Structure 1
Amino acid sequence: MKIITSDPHQPLAGMLWGASGVLLFAAGLPATRIAVLEMPSLFVGAGRAWLGAVLALILLLFTRQRLPSPRQWLRLALVATGVVFGYPILSSIALESVSATHGVLVTALLPLCTALFGAFLNQHWPKAGFWLCALTGSALVLFYAGQQAQGHWQQADLLLLLASVLCGIGYAEGARLTRELGSWQVICWALVLSLPLLTPLTWYSRPVLADTSPAGWLSMLYLGSCSMFLGFFCWYRGLALGGVTQVSQVQLLQPFGALWLAALLLGESLSAQAIWICLAVVACVALGRRYA
């Protein structure tokens, strides 16, 4: 088995790569919201991944990458379950009925999910402080979701939370695989592995061209090329160069970038409650990661 180790003496490069990935990810939920207002949510979720898979296949063929081992294919299937199918499709369905701002705040727990599954996969049991931070952050998110739905849970909230859990698994396993396959190779192989299933899903759910504006197609182009491909390229590269513990902290900036882009692109208003809950959840995530 080929083991690819990261250079421990490149923390700055790792932080820059990681920050680039977070910036590309931050626009994902606002762009998804724009797309699902005009297209079927299944097409948005599967179509973005299909486009990313095509780009990944081209890159893998061009660079003549060696095929993963059978065991690595199984692990890549776990990555694909979270980051290729789970998060894109579930978040697309959820954003049909809630705003991008709402989606950003509910999925702000994603870094905690990543830290939890990363600790589990590496057979390291988190300390009590982690669980306290996780419960506090979860309670804040549930409080916000309940306030928005006037005391009743929405199906969209359940979908967003499930999407965060699945994506956390995919992130954690993907980070482990970077040592064996390389940084960008992980997401590329996960996307290519998913291509046989993504193709019929995308074709079956395709929208009527006449009913879709250029803004919708531009959003899909961004989601497929940046959020599903280049963003992971930068993110896993940063994790490999600078280390998971250090570079993953950059992800704390993602909710704030996403909220700003939701306001800029969609004209969504930011309430004082949304801002302080976002700050509090990010603080819980930052503290929780120290104990994970």
Structure 2
Amino acid sequence: MLAFSGSFPATVYAMRGFDPWLVAVGRAALAGVLALVCLRAGGRPLLPRRADWPSYALISGGVVFGFPVFSGLALALGAGTAHSAVVIGLLPAATAACAVLRASERPRPLFWAACAAGAVAITAFTLIQGQGSASWPDLLLVAALLSAAVGYTEGARLTRQTPGWQVISHVLVFSLPVTAPVTAVLALTTPIMITPEAVAGLAYVAAISMFLGFIPWYAGLARGGIARAGQTQLTQPLLTLLWAWFLMGERFGPATVIAAVAVLVCVAVTQRART
């Protein structure tokens, strides 16, 4: 979560010099090159077993394309880093639901009660901020978190048989036939302004958010149970708020802090409600 918590600020930095579509797809292409190197160095096949291709297509659609594209567009349309971080706090609830559907997990009622409380806190925060209605950036953020939930669940399910670093590496290499040419076209047709912060932001979302962060994340989900371990994502909004304040000077009101603390309490309860 510490690795993923810097994704939104880094994305904002990257979009100060690169087109949002280029950031969304280019991060996966750059991470795919890193994955190729790792698989070669580890003496592993570059592609997964053909029987697992449908699962890898699901993961790719969720974490390679869905989450980066939807969240990047939301930020480009004016969703603040702090606001986006709190809305994405709904992700643990979505991950838990996917764990029930795809991984045959059955959490206890107390787990669902705490999970629902966190979801209610985030929903109330979103409606208050939007004066009673959800904006287009909010809807894009919801699409992003649903995409991530699918990718997280399917990746963790595969990690039960395959090391997490191989799973995310295969996902990125599996996606390269799409991400590489699209990145090349966007790099040639969209305006680019090379600045240190833009390059640093793109490097972060490619190396950390898109690749290295997934290695311990998939391992943790596979070992701790997808639904239960996935609730640690509720700490991500609070961490991202700290980054938004420290790196970008964003200011947020009491409602933002209350919502972030509420989901932090909910994660403590979910961790006590074992599956």
Gapped regions of structure 1 (runs ≥ 5): 1-21
> Alpha-carbon deviations, 1:77-127, whole Å to 9, x = none?
111111111111110010111111011000011122212211221224555
RMSD: 2.2
**Aligned mates of 1:164, 1:252 — CA distance in 2:** 12
Match of 2:214 in 1: 232
> Structure 1 residues 291, 235: CA separation in 2 closer, same or farther (over 3 Å shift)?
closer
Task: Tell me whether 1:275 sits opposite 2:275 in the alignment.
Answer: no
For residues 110-189 of structure 1, the aligned pairs below 5 Å read 110-126=91-107, 128-189=109-170
Alignment match of 1:257 (pick from 239, 261, 269) = 239
Partner of 2:196: 214
Match of 1:196 among 149, 158, 177: 177
Aligned to 2:2: 23
In the alignment, the residues of structure 2 paired with residue 130 and residue 208 of structure 1 have an alpha-carbon distance, to the nearest angstrom, of 47
Q: CA deviation at 1:285?
A: 4.5
User: Could you tell me which residue of structure 1 aligns to residue 73 of structure 2?
Assistant: 93
Deviations 1:157-206 (A, max 9, x none): 01111111111111111111012221211111011111111123222333
1-structure distance, mates of 2:15, 2:268: 32
What's the TM-score once normalised by structure 1's chain length?
0.84
Q: Determine the C-alpha separation between the residues in 1 that align with 2:106 and 2:230.
A: 19
Q: Quote the Cα distance in structure 1 between the aligned partners of 2:149 and 2:215.
A: 17
Within 1, Cα distance between the matches of 2:133 and 2:235? 29
Q: Percent identity?
A: 36
- 1:83–1:166 contact (8 Å) kept in structure 2: yes
2:22 aligns with 43
What is the letter of the counterpart of residue 81 of structure 1?
Answer: G
Is contact 2:103–2:153 with CA below 8 Å preserved after alignment?
Answer: no
Q: Write out per-residue CA displacement over residues 186-228 of structure 1, whole angstroms, 9 at most, x where no aligned residue.
A: 111011111111123222333433x342211110011101111
Q: Confirm or deny: 8 A CA contact 1:101 1:259 kept in the other structure.
A: yes
Q: Which amino acid aligns with 1:32?
A: T
Change (3 A) 1:140 1:237: closer
Q: What CA deviation, in whole Å up to 9, does each residue of 1:38-69 have, x standing for no partner?
A: 42211111111111111001111221213422
Q: Which residue type is aligned with residue 207 of structure 2?
A: S
* Structure 1 residue corresponding to 2:64, chosen from 81, 84, 87: 84
- Rounded to whole Å, the distance in 2 between the matches of 1:238 and 1:142 is 27
- C-alpha distance in 1 between matches for 2:9 and 2:53: 32
* Residues 225-250 of structure 1: per-residue CA shift (max 9 Å, x gap): 1111111123224445x533675454
Aligned residues of 2:25 and 2:68 also touching (Cα < 8 A): yes
Q: Is the Cα–Cα contact under 8 Å of residues 91 and 233 in structure 2 kept in the other structure? A: no
What is the CA–CA distance in structure 2 between the aligned matches of 1:251 and 1:128, rounded to whole Å?
Answer: 19
Count of aligned pairs: 269
2 CA distance for matches of 1:131 and 1:248? 13
Partner of 1:59: 38
CA distance in 2, matches of 1:114, 1:232: 15
Q: Secondary structure at the match of 2:134?
A: coil
In 2: Cα distance, 1:105 partner to 1:216 partner: 24
Normalising by structure 2, what TM-score? Answer: 0.88
> Are the equivalent residues in 2 in contact too, given 1:140–1:281 (CA < 8 A)?
yes
Runs of 4+ in 1 over 6 A off after TM superposition: none
Residue identity in the other structure for 1:220: L
